[in-house]
Chain A
Amino acid sequence: MDIANYIYLSVLLFTIGAIGVVIRRNAIVVFMCIELMLNAANLAFVTFSRVHGNLSGQVASFFTMVVAACEVVVGLAIIVTIYRSRRSASVDDASLLKR
């Protein structure tokens, strides 16, 4: 199997994630799309690790997973708090910073 296909898949996943972040309003979905982009990056790291024949990429993907796990904790906490106070998980409703 051609190793380039992994890269194509990674690009596809990243694009889907990016488009999802931009066009979706539900904070949970946006959040999932971010996770998708992180995992696309992970896939690319692992693939390149294989191509170059060393473990640097794999190590980087572990770091990404740890960061992603922390991000999930903080991000979900923020989303839950916003939902509690505003009864909505729409990211457009939480646009108060412009003022």
Chain B
Amino acid sequence: MTTSTNLVYLISLPLFSAALLLLLGRIADKWGHIFATLVSASVFVIGVLEFFAMQGRDGEARAATQKIFEWISVGTFQVDASLLLDQLSICFVLLISGVGTLIHIYSIAYMSHDRDRRRFFAYLNLFIAAMLLLVLGDSYLNLYVGWEGVGLASYLLIGFWNQKPAYATAAKKAFIANRVGDLGLSLAIMIAFTQFGTVTFAGVKEGASGASAGALTAIGAMLLLAAAGKSAQFPLQSWLGDAMAGPTPVSALIHAATMVTAGVYLITRSNFIFDASPTAQLMVVIVGAITLLFGALIGTAKDDIKKALAASTMSQIGYMILATGLGPVGYAFAIMHLLTHGFFKAGMFLGAGSVMHGMNDEVNMRRYGAIGKVMPITAATFGLGYLAILGVPPFAGFYSKDKIIETAFNAGGIEGVLLGGATLLGAAITAFYMTRVIVLTFTGTKRWDENAHPHESPFLMWAPMAVLAIGSVTSGFLLSSGSALVNWLQPVVNEHNERHSEEFLPPLVVSTMALVVVAIGVAFAILKYRTVPVIAPLDVSLFTKAARKDLYQDSFNEAVLMRPGQKLTAVLVTTDYKVIDGLVRSVGWVIQTMSSALRSIQNGYVRSYALIMVLGVLALVTAIWMVTL
């Protein structure tokens, strides 16, 4: 462990910038966006410097820590606000600050017509600070602070245009779904504390080896719930589609590249718990497999370009979660897919934003068509992202996604065949829906609104897209050449290179199979969408109807959770009013009645008071007399 003094700036700079821009108000309107972008860029520079400093150190000394202050000190319970920058966190720091800075630059142009651009940038910096705290915290409690911080930033940015009630509702929906997950995280922290007496990663890791299987499974299940909430995994997936209400740069940064991958980070960070509990691992792979198919199926029927991409994000994170559930072999591939996905999905979201920018904020792909000719740079960058997500060699997805498919098949036995089959099927559906997005948007005939005059976006918008597109092309090769990332992460995830002994399918076979199913998916989409009606046809299969309705996820939540919840609340309100308030009120009523009866003797006549006094004295005397006799 090395002690560093620079880590705190990674968090304090963007936090300070956010506070400054929010407190200064309209004064900062002129320069707020530039300032926020510079802060984000400087965070990226610090991250890069730390990365090189880290490469200069070896073995144990690579991880750096910094204690900021003593946070909680109660008896034996000690929590310091400390930061930990190790091989895993640095990947996230570079992704968050790098993609974050690109998206700051993009937003300068994208939000230039918005009167609240300064507030938007303040929230973006707040998000960067919270997300960096999430990945840099050295204990679950520090992570939790960042976890809540990104939830807040996500809420503020989804509801950025909260003058539209639907957008404000979408923000609330995201926040509430996340609260369910947060409950899981706080329960996991509590269980960890009762079991191990500490909540630092190092302490829990030490305690996990001697803990009971039940406790580890409970912690694992609660962490999985937390990851499901933040990463939009089954069964808490329903918020992500609505979260597209936020401005497109937000969708690219928070709801594609970084925040939604926090669940993958959490599980990878807690690898010592999941490795020790096969039950928890099984739950993780099941959730991942369900979500990757669930998201892919929704993606096939969405006409809203951002919602189609959101469904794709959900599906791709399903891949990552599945990979983390496959044990020590999978973590590095999950992180690799996370990084490559950060490039190509953010790039595609920015491309979608660029198209929307040129089409008067139209999101319906049925109103697009033939945009490739008027927006060549957008089409090219989007196309590179498309090839990357499909897993066409040598693009990024080929290296990360095929590794996950391969690892899933190699899980062994029926489980391996099922998981491998699910990932292959997911790849085919991904190819179908992404081709559909491309065909509907960039090729075919014009189906534009009369007022639409699409044009290529300004330099500030296409430059970040180009950088991300380069990343989509090269990142997979760079990360996997010589197993660079796998070796880099080895100290964190305890991978021991045992996997080659029991290979079920060789990599070449897996890649060929993946390419074949992808080709089938692409061909099917091209054939199906040769002509595109502007109005979505209604006489479609039951399956399409279900996918259009997000596979009834909202109807399910409403029928199973919301309405019974409302009924329960109504019953409780009635009980409170009738029983509890009734008791209180009847006590009052009895006393009131009795006192009004008693009040009638308070008639103000001295004579009657005197009479009562006499009677009282008589009674007293009689009583004394009776007693003494």
Contacts and interface: CB of A to CB of B under 8 A. Distances in A.
Interface of A: 18, 21-25, 30, 91-92, 94-99
B606 A96 contact: no
Contact of B604 (A24, A25, A98): A98
Contacts of A23: 607
A30 B606 CA distance: 10
B360 interface: no
16 contacts: A18-B610, A18-B614, A21-B610, A22-B611, A23-B607, A25-B607, A30-B606, A91-B606, A91-B607, A92-B605, A95-B603, A95-B605, A98-B602, A98-B603, A98-B604, A99-B604
Contact of B607 (A92, A96, A97, A98): A92
Contacts of B603: 95, 98
Contacts of A96: 604
A60 to B, nearest CB: 18
Contacts of A95: 603-606
A22 B605 contact: no
A99 B605 CA distance: 12
Contacts of A99: 604
Interface string B594-629: 000000001111110011001000000000000000
A88 B318 CA distance: 98
A96 B605 CA distance: 9
A29 to B, nearest CB: 11
Main secondary structure of the interface of B (DSSP, over half): helix
Nearest to B602: A98
Nearest to B607: A22
The 10 closest A-B pairs by CB, nearest first: A98-B604, A95-B604, A22-B611, A91-B606, A21-B610, A22-B607, A95-B605, A97-B604, A18-B614, A98-B602
Contacts of A21: 607, 610
Interface in B492-542: none
Contacts of B607: 21-25, 30, 91-92
A95 B614 CA distance: 19
B386 to A, nearest CB: 89
Contacts of B606: 30, 91, 94-95
A24 B607 CA distance: 8
Given A22-B614, A95-B605, A98-B603, 8 more contacts: A21-B607, A21-B610, A22-B607, A22-B610, A22-B611, A94-B606, A95-B606, A96-B604
Nearest to A96: B604
A94 B605 CA distance: 8
A97 B606 CA distance: 10
Contacts of A18: 610, 614
B493 to A, nearest CB: 85
A91 B605 contact: yes
Contacts of B605: 91-92, 95
A94 B603 CA distance: 11
Contacts of A92: 605, 607
Interface in B551-607: 602-607
A99 B603 CA distance: 9
Nearest to B612: A22
A25 B605 CA distance: 10
A79 to B, nearest CB: 12
A91 B603 CA distance: 12
Contacts of B614: 18, 22
A63 B606 CA distance: 26
A3 B604 CA distance: 41
A20 B604 CA distance: 18
Nearest to B614: A18
Interface string B171-194: 000000000000000000000000
A97 to B, nearest CB: 5
Nearest to B618: A18
A74 B428 CA distance: 109
A67 to B, nearest CB: 17
Contacts of A25: 607
B601 to A, nearest CB: 10
Contacts of B602: 98
Contacts of A98: 602-604
A88 to B, nearest CB: 14
B487 to A, nearest CB: 94
Contacts of A24: 607
Nearest to B617: A18
B56 to A, nearest CB: 93
Nearest to A34: B610
